[in-house]
Amino acid sequence: MTKSPVWLSERVQWIGALDPTMRSFDIILKTPNGTTYNAYAVRGSEGVAVIDTVKAECADQFFEHLEAIACYDEIKVIVLNHLEPDHTGALPELMRRAPQAKLYISQSAQLMIKALLNQQDIDFISVGTGDTISLGDRTLKFLHTPYLHWPDTQCTYLEEECILFSGDVFGCHFCDERLFNDKVGDFRFAFEYYYAHIMRPFREHVINALELISPLPINIIAPTHGPILRDKPTSYIQRYRELSGQRLQSEVNADEKTLLIFYISAYGSTTQMAQMIRDGAEQVPGVRASLYDMEGGDSDLFVDLVEDADGILIGSPTINGDAVKPAWDLVSSFAKINVKGKLAGAFGSFGWSGEAVRMLEDRMRGLKMRLPLEGVRIKLIPSSDELEQCRRYGQEAGEHLMGVNAPRVLDMADLLASRKQISN
Amino acid sequence: MAKAKVTFSDVNVTVNVPVGTRIIEISEAVGSYIAYNCREGDCGVCLFEVIKGKENMSAISKEEKAVLLARYQEIMDGWRATTDIDALQAKMQRENFIGKNCRLACQTQVFGDVVVAPL
């Protein structure tokens, strides 16, 4: 384990902490190699800046490293690129030991810092893109890069040395005491896995951030987790550009919209419904509808399709008063991407109670998808009338997708009564 | 009972409602894409756009105004330092944001015909 600070340059040191035995992070991530909490110190002619801190449990390592390279009264500036507790755990103690240091946070972090420290009267300075602070012969410049992966996140750029302190961006959970990307073991899988689970849901924000970062000359990217990227740093920016691009090559024309119909069926009734819904949707010019049997697929593969789709319908029978597990697995995977605003719906056959459809609808509504239609529920085997109802549902879904649905006028009492009947 | 017409332009549905109805009571039932979180005026997620009939809606309260302000900051360009609030408020008024084109669906009652859409 590294017991001394590590030099990035004459004026910049790594003063973070190693956590080699960590095996799951933030509940949702596996970490076979543990992780690091990277914090940095920058020395200017007029004082020292500390950039980020570490998890509370690792604070001893952090303070030991910090004390080896600076006195507390030299610290003029504390920059927080991200307020999550794994980077701010040592902050209260650092503020106590260096009370003269000014705290710099992003504009979106102002309410969070109060909730984090449970203190209303914190003295801080909020900064945005283009703001700078001088340490004499060294200058820190800020980049507002929100939602990577929290609302508060920002990057800090050391102008004279072209070092980007990127926060969690370009980071990964990979603990190796050799620290630099040209020295550590092969961490490519950790880098990809971290992007997929932490950054991917914020794809649009990644693209915006890359626009801010790309024009900067960069010698070193110094993230808050994992290896410090000093060898070919821009290749990681390029990789983020690829990862935030479209996963699948687009197969549809600009004037077409895609509707994915996922279904699973015990005795074929929900399958029949899915096929009729597809036929109905295909009647609407411009709709490209596709059918997928969830029994033969895997939500990890489907989620790439969903990310690019305009509309998603899910068909599930009701078993023991619930939708079936493959349907829930698919909906759970939506948390890895951004589905907000996509058209959604549910349908399914049932034996006697049929709760699955409304439960799936509620869940997708909760994910802020757009559900303009009540899904079709059919008791046991669909009759020809009921199949016609499915075709109409598919057609209406297609019309909503293309924005050509016919106007309807309703009375509120009828509207709410029909909803109540359905949910009973 | 006096009636009003609420048209949700995103789903092309018009609902005849008793006057005094809040948008939140019907928007989900017609499937309009106005999203909700807290449902009580705190979070600002249910921001919607008034396309027609702003004069037929309940007056905007001080609390709703504050939430709109916060949401506006977030939507436009992230949070600004709190000292900017007056300038921001002026900007919002110039750009027809507050109390004109945008409201919160969980707070706004209708007293006459309106046309609304998700933001």
Q: What is the pLDDT of residue B90?
A: 65
Q: What is the pLDDT of residue B79?
A: 41
Q: Kindly state the average pLDDT of the residues B12-25.
A: 95
pLDDT single digits (tens) A30-66:
999 999 999 999 999 999 999 999 999 999 999 999 9
Q: What is the pLDDT of residue A155?
A: 97
This complex has an ipTM of 0.78
Q: What is the pLDDT of residue B78?
A: 45
pLDDT single digits (tens) A219-231:
999 999 999 999 9
Q: What is the pLDDT of residue B82?
A: 44
Average pLDDT across chain A, whole number: 93
The nearest alpha carbon in chain B to A127 belongs to B81
pLDDT single digits (tens) A253-269:
888 999 999 999 999 99
Q: Kindly state the average pLDDT of the residues B72-95.
A: 57
Residue A422 has pLDDT above 60, yes or no: no
SS3 B43: coil
Q: Any chain A CB within 8 A of the CB of B39?
A: no
Q: How many CB atoms sit inside 10 A of residue B37's CB?
A: 13
Residue B20 has pLDDT above 70, yes or no: yes
Nearest CA to CA, how far is B5 from chain A (Å)? 9
Q: What are phi and psi of A207, to 5 degrees?
A: -60, -45
The nearest alpha carbon in chain A to B26 belongs to A412
Query: Given pLDDT bands bounded at 50, 70 and 90, which one contains residue B81?
Result: very low
Nearest CA to CA, how far is B30 from chain A (Å)? 6
Q: What is the pLDDT of residue B29?
A: 86
Number of domains making up chain B: 1
Q: What is the pLDDT of residue A297?
A: 86
Chain A residue numbers with beta carbons less than 8 Å from the beta carbon of B16 are 409-412
Chain A residue numbers with beta carbons less than 8 Å from the beta carbon of B15 are 409-412, 415
Residues of A within an 8 Å Cβ radius of B: 106-108, 110-111, 126, 128, 144, 146, 340-341, 365, 368, 370-374, 400, 405-412, 415-416, 419
Percent of chain A at pLDDT > 70 equals: 98
What residue numbers bound the domain in which B31 lies? 3-118
Residue A424 has pLDDT above 60, yes or no: no
| CATH number of the domain enclosing B93 | 3.10.20.30
Residue from B3, B49, B11, B47 nearest B32 by CA: B11
Residue A2 has pLDDT above 60, yes or no: no
Q: What is the pLDDT of residue A96?
A: 96
Which residue, among B10, B12, B30, B37, would best test binding to A if mutated, counting the most A CBs under 10 Å from its CB? B12
Mean pLDDT is lowest, of A108-122, A208-222, B14-28, for A108-122
Nearest CA to CA, how far is B27 from chain A (Å)? 10
Percent of chain A at pLDDT > 90 equals: 79
Query: Given pLDDT bands bounded at 50, 70 and 90, which one contains residue B80?
Result: very low
Q: What is the pLDDT of residue B44?
A: 82
pTM for the full model? 0.76
Residue A398 has pLDDT above 90, yes or no: yes
Cβ contacts below 8 Å, chain A against chain B, sum to: 68
| H-helix or E-strand spanning residue B48 | strand B47-52
Average pLDDT across chain B, whole number: 82
Q: Which residue has the higher pLDDT, A368 or B99?
A: A368
The nearest alpha carbon in chain B to A407 belongs to B12
- Judge: B14–A410 Cβ closer than 8 Å, yes or no: yes
The nearest alpha carbon in chain B to A345 belongs to B31
How do strand A40-44 and strand A47-51 relate by DSSP bridges? antiparallel
- Judge: B80–A365 Cβ closer than 8 Å, yes or no: no
Chain A residue numbers with beta carbons less than 8 Å from the beta carbon of B10 are 370, 372
Q: Which residue has the higher pLDDT, B45 or A379?
A: A379
Q: What domains are there in chain A, each with its CATH number?
A: 6-244 (3.60.15.10), 257-423 (3.40.50.360)
Q: What is the pLDDT of residue B73?
A: 65
Q: What is the pLDDT of residue A86?
A: 96
- Judge: B15–A410 Cβ closer than 8 Å, yes or no: yes
Q: Which residue has the higher pLDDT, A316 or B95?
A: A316
Q: Any chain A CB within 8 A of the CB of B87?
A: no
Q: Which residue has the higher pLDDT, A132 or A340?
A: A132
The nearest alpha carbon in chain A to B37 belongs to A366
- Give me the residue from B10, B29, B81 closest to A416, CB to CB: B29
Q: Kindly state the average pLDDT of the residues B10-22.
A: 94
